[in-house]
């Protein structure tokens, strides 16, 4: 199975669905529910995400005073006389972040999504509208922890004084941003569960793709070249500001501790010298870069002000610049179980060996891939699978992985194998993220990947994904 122009994907028995064969979230079947409403001439009411405060959730802190007792849930037809799902196409300029919910990470990912029409079709299925066969019901698709799911919602939206409480459209009668936000809030448990996060999480949930990131103060010398290749491919980019509010005077209009969408990279000539520019979108819908180059920003300013750039691609092959080099992907599901397979970090010498052990065999590169522009030939991603519905109710563990070279050995390796054995690759550090990754090079041969948490006994389901431009065998 392969995704849109993506890696050739080899699923195991737990990984067999796609956007067009997605699983029904909470066992709600959109087609059946929609048809029932049409037959009974009623508007859909979603009992599993009801129009009350349980769906809004509890906020630890609010930047604006909001009296939740004043919230009234209304359908778009109660707010405007001529509601539409989409007006004149989907654009990054269609919406602005609301004042209540700190979900710039999610809305910055939407901004990237609007550039890729094929991906939009995956997330927001066609043939939905407020006119033909309207029944107050809509559905969206997201990739969550290795599975594509189809999420049904009704179109009742929280308002105060007839104004949307959360994301707001710049076109008065366009409602796709608010409905998409509501569907994602339902998946995550509530609107409050969208309060704060990382843009990479939403980018992956929109695409089911490969996540890569670069820390900008230690980024490779060819980062500009990577960003140019990224912009030309079906690849989404976002970035995060590192500066604090106390350093606001250094930002020249860029908001501190805030997520942005990278919407373009360009090279222009200034006094006969090339200048590399980065174009950004602020999901607030206001405030912009006030330094040199106006709506654009120089690469130098970009790397000084922003901390990290997030890239989510359908496949890393865009970095090779060769249509003949096809990467493959393999994904396996596993688990850290206390006392069985949750051994902690490598410094826990007595238990580390009990962690799951994944064997990888890399074949020689073919001629097309060997001559590619990117020296890296493998990307490993480790994701901890949140089993609770409410996103904020389950903290991330500090996670990472180590890669060891093997020599045709068989069986499970005990603690002796790891004594004084140096890994040939590893995550830079253990991080408290939903997902960590490493993009690196391995010579043809046999290797073992050992995913771990910081401490023994930390229980979680995991998804290990390996993307490679070698022929790869994973078990």
Question: Which structure tokens are listed for 462?
Answer: 């995991």
328 vs 316: CA distance, rounded Å: 10
Q: Where are the beta strands (DSSP E) in 271-397?
A: 273-281, 296-298, 306-313, 328-336, 358-362, 378-385
Report how far apart the first and last C-alpha atoms of the chain are (Å, whole number): 18
Selected catalytic residue, list 37, 104, 239, 313:
104
192 vs 166: CA distance, rounded Å: 11
Q: Rounded to the nearest 5°, which phi and psi values hold at 55?
A: -80, -25
Selected catalytic residue, list 84, 282, 377, 470:
282
User: How would DSSP label each residue in 151-173?
Assistant: EEEES-EEEETTEESSSEESSTT
102 vs 98: CA distance, rounded Å: 8
* 7 classed as catalytic: no
Chain centroid, CA 237 distance in Å: 10
Q: How many CB atoms lie within 10 A of CB 347?
A: 7
3 vs 377: CA distance, rounded Å: 20
Selected catalytic residue, list 258, 313, 325, 355:
258
* 258 classed as catalytic: yes
Q: How many CB atoms lie within 10 A of CB 272?
A: 5
44 vs 134: CA distance, rounded Å: 10
423 vs 30: CA distance, rounded Å: 48
Question: Which structure tokens are listed for 41?
Answer: 């001439």
Q: How many CB atoms lie within 10 A of CB 285?
A: 16
Give me the torsion for CA of 117, 122, 123, 127, rounded to 10°.
90
How would you classify the pairing of strands 72-74 and 157-160?
A: antiparallel
**Residues noted as catalytic:** 104, 258, 282
């Amino acid at each position: 199975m392969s995704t849109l122009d993506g890696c050739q994907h080899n699923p195991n028995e737990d990984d067999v669905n796609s956007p067009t064969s997605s699983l029904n979230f909470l066992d709600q079947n959109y087609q059946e529910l929609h048809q029932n409403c049409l037959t009974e001439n009623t508007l859909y009411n979603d009992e599993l995400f009801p129009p009350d405060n349980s769906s809004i959730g509890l906020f630890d802190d609010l930047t604006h005073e909001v009296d939740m007792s004043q919230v009234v849930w209304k359908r778009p037809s109660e707010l405007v006389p001529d509601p539409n799902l989409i007006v004149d196409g989907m654009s990054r300029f269609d919406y602005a972040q609301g004042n209540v919910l700190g979900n710039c990470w999610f809305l910055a990912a939407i901004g990237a999504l609007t550039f890729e029409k094929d991906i939009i079709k995956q997330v927001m299925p066609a043939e939905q509208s407020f006119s033909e066969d309207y029944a107050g019901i809509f559905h969206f698709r997201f990739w969550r922890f290795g599975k594509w799911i189809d999420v049904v919602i009704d179109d009742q939206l929280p308002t105060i004084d007839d104004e949307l409480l959360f994301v707001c459209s710049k076109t008065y009668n366009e409602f796709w941003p608010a409905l998409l936000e509501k569907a994602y809030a339902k998946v995550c448990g509530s609107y409050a569960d969208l309060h704060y996060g990382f843009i990479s999480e939403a980018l992956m949930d929109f695409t089911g793709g490969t996540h890569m990131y670069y820390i900008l103060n230690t980024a490779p010398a060819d980062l500009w070249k990577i960003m140019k290749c990224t912009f030309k491919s079906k690849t989404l980019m976002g970035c995060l500001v590192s500066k604090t509010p106390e350093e606001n005077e250094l930002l020249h209009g860029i908001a501190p501790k805030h997520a942005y969408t990278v919407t373009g990279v360009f090279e222009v000539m200034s006094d006969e010298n090339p200048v590399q520019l980065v174009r950004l979108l602020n999901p607030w819908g206001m405030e912009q870069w006030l330094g040199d180059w106006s709506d654009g920003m120089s690469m130098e300013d970009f790397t000084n002000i922003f901390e990290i750039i997030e890239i989510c691609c359908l496949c890393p092959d865009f970095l090779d610049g060769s249509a003949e080099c096809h990467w493959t992907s393999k994904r396996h599901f596993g688990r850290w179980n206390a006392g069985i397979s949750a051994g902690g970090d490598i410094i826990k010498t007595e238990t580390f060996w009990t962690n799951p052990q994944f064997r990888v065999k890399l074949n020689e590169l073919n001629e097309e891939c060997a001559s590619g522009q990117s020296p890296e030939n493998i990307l490993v991603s480790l994701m901890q699978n949140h089993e609770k519905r409410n996103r904020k109710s389950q903290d991330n563990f500090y996670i990472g992985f180590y890669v060891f070279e093997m020599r045709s050995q068989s069986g499970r390796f005990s603690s002796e194998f790891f004594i004084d054995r140096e890994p040939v690759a590893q995550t830079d550090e253990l991080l408290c993220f939903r997902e960590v990754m490493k993009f690196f090079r391995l010579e043809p041969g046999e290797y073992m990947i050992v995913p771990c948490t910081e401490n023994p006994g930390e229980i979680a389901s995991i998804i290990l994904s390996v993307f490679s431009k070698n022929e790869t065998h994973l078990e």
